Amino acid sequence: MDFLSIEFFSALLSIIIIDLVLAGDNAIVIGLAARNLPKELQKKTIIWGSVGAIVIRAIATLLVVWLLEIPGLLLGGGLILIWIAVKLLAEEKEHDVKPSQSLWGAIRTIIIADAVMGLDNVLAVAGAAHGSFWLVILGLLISVPIVVWGSTVILKLMERFQWIIFVGAGVLAYTAAKMIVDEPFLADFFAANPLLKWGLIALVVIGVLLAGFWKKMRTKKSA
C-alpha cells in the first residue's frame, strides 16, 4: 500500500476512529486499578501499565493481521466484526476492576484488563489495516496516547454526542464488509460485480446502524 495514497490515509483514519471508539474507556480501567496507590506511584502505574498494554496489543494485532491471510478467516473476522459493531451501539459498558495495593499488582491488572477488553479492538484494527503491519503500528502510535491521556474527554463527548458512537459503528461495519468482499475466494466474484460489492457494503453498514439503534431502543424500554 502506497504511503501517500488515499487508500492508506483512509485506512489510517479508520484505525484511529476504531481505537478511539472501542478503546476510549481503557483509561478508566487504568484509573480504577491505580486509585488506591499513593499519588507518587499512580503516575508510574499509568505509564508502565500503558506501555505494557500497548506492547501486548501491538503483538496481538500483528498476529491477527498475519492470521487473516489464511483463507476463510477474513470472512469469519468480518462476520464477527458485524456483531461487534451492533454490540457497540446496543450495550452499556461496565467496568469491574478491583484496585490494587501495589505498583506491580496495578500494572499487571491494567495489562490483563486491557488484553481482555481489547480483543474486539485487535480484530477491528487488523481488518482495517488491509495486511499492512506499518498501518497497525502507526495507528497505535497516534491513537494510544490519545486514549490513555484523553479518554475521559472522549467518553464525555460520546455520552453527549451520540452520533460519535454511530460514526464509530459505521466505520466498524464498513471494515467488516470490506473484509468479507476482500476474502480471497470471494474477491474475484466481487471484482467482476462492483455494483454488487458496493451494494453489499452499503447494506451491511445501514443494517448494522439500524440493528444497533433498534436493539438500543429495546434495551432502554426494558430498563
Residue 95: DSSP 8-state = -
Question: Do 98 and 34 contact (CB within 8 A), yes or no?
Answer: no
Residue 98: DSSP 8-state = -
pLDDT in tens, 124-169: 888 888 778 888 888 877 776 766 666 556 556 666 777 777 887 8
More confident residue, 77 or 27: 77
pLDDT in tens, 55-80: 887 888 888 888 888 888 888 888 88
- Burial (Cβ within 10 Å: 0-12, 13-18, ≥19) of residue 18: buried
Do you know the residue count of the chain? 223
Q: Which residue has the cell 505494557?
A: 52
Q: Shortest CA distance to 77 belongs to which of 215, 4, 182, 189?
A: 182
| DSSP percent split of the chain into helix, strand, coil, nearest 5 | 85, 0, 15
Calculate the dihedral angle through the C-alpha atoms of 208, 212, 218, 222, rounding to the nearest 10 degrees.
140
Q: What is the pLDDT of residue 197?
A: 93
| CA dist., res. 57 & res. 23, Å (int) | 11
| CA dist., res. 163 & res. 34, Å (int) | 31
Amino acid identity of residue 134, one-letter, is: W
Question: Do 62 and 54 contact (CB within 8 A), yes or no?
Answer: no
| CA dist., res. 121 & res. 205, Å (int) | 18
| CA dist., res. 24 & res. 56, Å (int) | 17
- Burial (Cβ within 10 Å: 0-12, 13-18, ≥19) of residue 33: buried
The reply to whether the predicted model has a pTM over 0.75 is: no
pLDDT in tens, 98-118: 555 677 777 777 677 666 666
Residue 188 has pLDDT above 80, yes or no: yes
* Half-sphere exposure at residue 171, Cβ-oriented, CA atoms within 13 angstroms: 24
Q: Which residue has the cell 464525555?
A: 156
